Structure 1
Amino acid sequence: MPTVRNKHGARSSIRFEPPTLDEAIFAAQGLADDVKGQTEIASMLMGLPEDEVRAAVLKAVRPAARAPSRLSIVPRSTAGRQIVVVERRAPRMIMR
């Protein structure tokens, strides 16, 4: 562990913990849509070869990324909408 001195001269140590496999896959899913890109990102974050990470990425494919089995559309009626009026006021002038 590297030791660093702060501005008061006291020693403090910095601990580096690489992300867990689940954390790396979750981050990769947020950054890439395709499985290949997720595998590359997760392997770089973990420092592991892509072959070891690929199986875990394929298991963790998000359900939202899969094709929906049923699509339902609910029509929105215009009768329930509220009218909102926004008025602009001039800022108050402070006299000194």
Structure 2
Amino acid sequence: MPAKKNSSAAQTRRVTRVEPPALEEAVAAAQGLTDDIESQVEIASQLMGLPEDEVRPVVLKTAPRVQVRRPERFPSFERSEGPKVVVVERKRPRLAIPR
């Protein structure tokens, strides 16, 4: 009978590698959280562990030039027009019957 090899604890232990985000990734995450530039600078600098003065130029460079106006959450309707009605129907799939 062959002898079983014992695996050492070092071989079975899992190692998790933690890497800080790249500066562009931190800026993209900050832009997804808020529209305020100064808040983006603060969030990105905290994610990277860098001073705000080093992060600010990158945030300003990647900031959108034109602020896009977001649509109203609840549009107002005139009484004469009324809300538009949308009907969604589910069609059942056709079943193929073997002959």
Shorter-chain-normalised TM-score: which range? 0.5 to 0.7
TM-score (norm 2): 0.56
Ranked by relative contact order (alpha carbons within 8 Å, sequence separation 6 or more), the top structure is: 2
Q: CA deviation at 1:85?
A: 7.2
Gaps of at least 5 residues in structure 2 are 1-8, 69-83, 90-99
One of 69, 84, 87 as aligned partner of 1:84? 87
Q: Which runs of 4+ in 1 moved over 2 A?
A: 81-86
- 1:29 paired residue number: 31
* CA-CA distance at 1:14 after TM superposition: 1.2
Q: CA RMSD, aligned part only?
A: 2.7
Rg larger for: 2
SS of 2:14 mapped into structure 1 = strand
Paired residues for 1:59-70 under 5 Å: 59-63=61-65, 66-67=66-67
Q: Number of residues paired by the alignment?
A: 65
Whichever residue aligns with residue 34 of structure 1, its letter is D
TM-score (norm 1): 0.57
